[in-house]
Amino acid sequence: MAQERFFPRTTFAAIPEEYARFESARAVILPIPYGSTGSGRAGCREGPRAIIDASEEMELYDIDLECEPYRVGIHTLPEVVPHTGSAQAMVERVEEIVGELLDGGKFVVTLGGEHTLTVGAVRAYRQRIANLSLLALDAHADLRQEYLDSPYNHACVLRRLLDDGCPLVQVGLRSATREEHDLIRQRKLPFFSVSAYRALVDGLGEVVSRLSEDVYITIDLDAFDPSQMAAVGTPEPGGLLWDEVVGLLAAVAREKRIVGFDVTELSPRLGPFANAQLAAKLAYRLIGLALAAPAGP
């Protein structure tokens, strides 16, 4: 049948088929519609598909990067089937899948779903990259030892990775329990509230200097101010703005090597379509910064 009469199959950014093949693509989109431990407003299971759908509305030329990131090749994988047995089992499933993709030489972009998925992805990366550090953009500390009877709740993500020995830096923090705050102080962890980050004389350099050469980036979308990202289960006022986030990510890309990233916690029904578009453009920008951006001064 004449294919020009049909829309192409759904892929991230609706890129031409020649750039979407798994065999030749440098980046793979891994959508994981999982949201079993959420404690706020529900809906993040719908996040991955909403991001991919919104990405089809993007222009493929990134005007800020002055390049077309899709030309590195971006393959969109099928959605991962959630493991309903336990959150830990789901983390292990993600770790296994991401590990297989890394062993195949792919740059993995994980789309959540809830933030718990980050634990599995980062564990897979740490098994293969010795000197890996984690940059986390998040409104919440996520340092609870356990929450709602589970150590693999989305409120425990950074605590699990900290206990694994993963060096981490967080930007965007503006909500924590007293115990989490005390842990940050006791261990002198590099966590920056939005106000503290803005108050730094050289905010970008202060953050980047604390990261190792190889960096994994995890983005809980509630790091953004609700005026720009309302579609999250646990919004917090006083968040980061688009230019602040992409400016920091660009600074990391200039000085370090971004080896992978995730974008999590979009609940598309809780906000306007523009929120899914923001998440999609953020993922596309990060692919460009990590793999396709021309060398800057």
Question: What pLDDT does 297 receive?
Answer: 43
CA distance 234 to 182: 22
Model-level pTM greater than 0.75? yes
- The answer to the question of residue 1 being in a domain is no
Q: Cis omega (within 30 of 0) on the bond before 113?
A: yes
Reported in sequence order, the residue ranges of 177-281 that DSSP labels E, i.e. its strands, are 191-193, 214-220, 257-264
Report pLDDT for 1.
53
Helix axes 242-255, 273-287, angle to 10 degrees: 10
Tell me the two tokens of residue 176.
Answer: 């924590």
Classify residue 145: in a domain, yes or no: yes
Sheet bearing 74-76, strands edge to edge: 74-76, 27-32, 107-112, 257-264, 214-220, 132-137, 168-173, 191-193
How many domains, the chain? 1
pLDDT at 63: 96
Q: What angle do CA 45, 50, 55 make, to 5 degrees?
A: 145
CATH number reported for the structural domain that contains residue 66 in this entry: 3.40.800.10
Structural domain of 155: 10-292
Task: Please report, as a single letter, which amino acid is at residue 237.
Answer: P
Answer whether residue 117 is part of any domain: yes
Residue 5 covered by a domain: no
**Structural domain includes residue 84:** yes
pLDDT at position 171 is 98
Tell me the pLDDT of the chain (297 aa) as tens digits.
Answer: 556 677 767 899 999 999 999 999 999 999 999 988 776 788 899 999 999 999 999 999 999 999 999 999 999 999 999 998 899 999 999 999 999 999 999 999 999 999 999 999 999 999 999 999 999 999 999 999 998 888 899 899 999 999 999 999 999 999 999 999 999 999 999 999 999 999 997 889 999 999 999 999 999 999 999 999 999 999 999 999 999 999 999 999 999 999 999 999 999 999 999 999 999 999 999 999 999 865 444
Residue 4 lies in a domain: no
| Per-residue confidence (pLDDT) for residue 295, from 0 to 100 | 46
The pLDDT of residue 203 is: 82
Residue 2 maps to a domain: no
Taking the C-alpha atoms of residue 77 and residue 233, their distance in angstroms, rounded to an integer, is 25
**Within a domain: 160:** yes
Give residue 291's pLDDT: 97
